[in-house]
Amino acid sequence: MRIAEHHDVPPLGVLDIGSNTVRLVLFRKQSTDLEPAWANWREVFNMREPCRLGEGLAATGEMKPANLAHAFRAIRDFRRALAESAPDAYIDVLATAAVRDASNANRLIDLIDRAFGAPPRVLSGDEEARYATLGVLYGREHARGLFADLGGGSLELSLGEDGAMTSVPLGVLRLLEQSRGKHGRARTIIREALKPVRFIRESESETLHLVGGSWRAMGMLHRLLQREPLPQLIEGYALKARKTRHFAGRIVREKPDRLRPYLRRSDRADTLPYAALVLRRLIKQSGVSRVRFSQYGIREGLLVDWVRQERFSAPVNDRQFTLNLDEPPT
């Protein structure tokens, strides 16, 4: 393998406006001879800010002003970092459930338009499910089974890139608020939301691929408690479904303050039991035999899509655009 920076190919960036976090990731082409083609690209930059845009959305239909202000500051900081380290990057800005559902989303959309020169692409639930599935394939090209991406505002499910897919309103922030902190009520909400998704049963005895920060945190926590070496990435960590469901039950019973010291991201402690509740129900309803944790998600899925279409060769309309280097908005 020949490793080198390909300066004739600009870096590709994804600004992901999620319901729980806002994250900027940059990928650079560092080799030419790996297969599949997207394996030649590596993440070189990753900034994250827990803005919780989905907080309060279930009750009011709006993103909270304080959380919007937090997101504004994060986006400005990310933009400055890009201007300094990768002004030639092609940037795609994606927004998911919170922006999709909020009645005041235009405030955030307008700021992104001014900062980056084009509005964000607000993904539909099916688009989000597809990119999450491609993200799993980025790490394991021939993955099969049930793919599940849990965010702050929604849960995306699919049976593969060309299989059935859907989005349901089961994000961890949404569940925390709708259940008013009551696990019994949360179980009912989860059961009723997943009951109509009939294709879940088609993955019986297969693998459940988990995408999303909450489930990555669960995988890391399991490794820690098993006294296993903690890698930088959780990619590929796998457990039997029955064992995973038992461990998820332990998380549900723990208080957030007891979980917090063991998590790399302590801000996930109060929502982790709700991620565990969703996982327990998915395992039971699907009948999968194995659970696999993926480090990757919609950002890497977008990279796979880019590389397949060779979209890195030139910007394509307003869905992939260069950084606006005018003065940032105030």
- pLDDT tens, position by position, 18-48: 999 999 999 999 988 899 999 999 999 899 9
Q: What is the pLDDT of residue 86?
A: 85
Number of domain units in the chain: 2
pLDDT score recorded for residue 125: 94
- The three-class DSSP label of residue 250 is helix
The answer to whether residues 155 and 108 belong to one domain is no
pTM attached to this predicted model: 0.90
Same domain, 156 and 275: yes
- Whether 33 is covered by a domain: the verdict is yes
| Structural domain range at position 19 | 12-123+303-322
Domain membership flag for residue 233: yes
pLDDT of residue 7: 59
Question: What local confidence, expressed as pLDDT, does residue 297 receive?
Answer: 95
Average pLDDT over residues 123-141: 96
pLDDT computed for residue 227 by the predictor? 84
51 touches 78 (CB < 8 A): no
- pLDDT exceeds cutoff 60 at 313: no
Is the same domain home to 19 and 161?
Answer: no
Q: Give the per-residue pLDDT at 316.
A: 46
- Segment 124-131 mean pLDDT: 96
Residues sharing a CB contact under 8 Å with residue 61, sequence separation 6 or more, in sequence order: 101, 102, 103
177-224 confidence digits (pLDDT tens) = 999 999 999 999 999 999 999 999 999 999 999 999 999 999 999 998
Claim to verify: residue 284 and residue 308 sit in the same structural domain: no
The Cα–Cα gap between 70 and 322 comes to 24
Tell me: pLDDT of 315 over 80: no
Residues 289 and 307 in one domain: no
Mean pLDDT, the chain, rounded, equals 89
Q: Which amino acid is at 59?
A: A
Alpha-carbon gap, residue 17 to 19, rounded angstroms: 7
Residue 245, φ and ψ in degrees, nearest 5: -65, -40
Check residue 316 and report its DSSP letter.
B
